[in-house]
Amino acid sequence: MRQFIKKILFYFLNTVTKYEKVTVSGFSRGLQNVVFEGKNAVPDRCNFSGNIEIGYATTLGYNNILSGNISIGKYCQLGADVALHATNHPISSMTTYINTNLFQGELQELKEENKIAIGNDVWIGHGVIIVGNINIGNGAILAAGSVVTKDVAPYTIVAGVPAKPIGKRFSDSIIQEIETLQWWDLSESELENIKPLFLKNFTNKETIYE
């Protein structure tokens, strides 16, 4: 009987719910704090607090935590257990403790408020943590397990704790061409017209139009 009840609960908790702009699977909290642009996907156990904007077709991962003032561009992919913290505890005051157990929570006004801005077509790997006032450029890749505490340039791959650049995805000329193209702003019919570009391998190339 107990196993049967567990199966029933599991079924209902993992039911896929499709809203106008987002598909939600399982149980997530704070969805009211998010503005979805459309074709977004939120899996189980995501938690949202603050002021969050998620761009068109961007998909999240299992157990993502987004806290604070955060904007994510279009066509981004977030892996499981990713955490974005745009707020931080005070470090220049008497204490970092801002819980309601001390002075009824009055010290919460000392909390540091930052902004995390993530561009378009960004891939954020499993277990990445982003903390502070951070800008992530278009096309960047944040390797699994990285802790990002500094800005990441467009089409740059970063890894490590703290995360450091380990390379660029393309030559500077190709990066400039893609930035000029801004394919993420095109309609689906316009994307169909340039579909061959997405099927090319740009390794050791200097232009996307070869």
Give the pLDDT confidence of 30-52 residue by residue, as tens digits.
Answer: 999 999 999 999 999 999 999 99
pLDDT of residue 11: 53
- Domain range spanning residue 91? 2-169
pTM: 0.90
Count of domains for the chain: 2
Residues 142, 127, single domain; the answer is yes
Confidence of residue 145 (pLDDT cuts 50, 70, 90): very high
Confidence check: pLDDT of 12 > 80: no
Residues 140, 198, single domain; the answer is no
pLDDT of residue 8: 55
Tokens 């998010």 belong to 34
Residues 131, 52, single domain; the answer is yes
| Active-site entry in 89, 115, 168, 169 | 89
Q: Which distant-in-sequence residues (6+ apart) come within 8 Å of 125 by Cβ?
A: 79, 141, 142, 143, 144, 145, 146
Residues 159, 186, single domain; the answer is no
Q: Share the mean pLDDT of the chain.
A: 93
Residues 15, 100, single domain; the answer is yes
CA dist 30 → 66, 68, 95, 105 (Å): 10, 12, 28, 21
Vertex 155: Cα angle to 149 and 160 (nearest 5): 35
Residues 112, 152, single domain; the answer is yes
3-state secondary structure at position 152: strand
pLDDT of residue 150: 97
Residues 153, 82, single domain; the answer is yes
Residues 22, 75, single domain; the answer is yes
Instruction: Give yes or no: 126 in active site.
Output: no
Residues 95, 10, single domain; the answer is yes
pLDDT of residue 4: 60
| Radius of gyration, CA atoms only, the chain | 20
Confidence check: pLDDT of 181 > 70: yes
Confidence of residue 112 (pLDDT cuts 50, 70, 90): confident
Confidence check: pLDDT of 135 > 90: yes
Residues 59, 10, single domain; the answer is yes
Residues 53, 106, single domain; the answer is yes
pLDDT of residue 13: 57
Residues 115, 94, single domain; the answer is yes
pLDDT of residue 19: 86
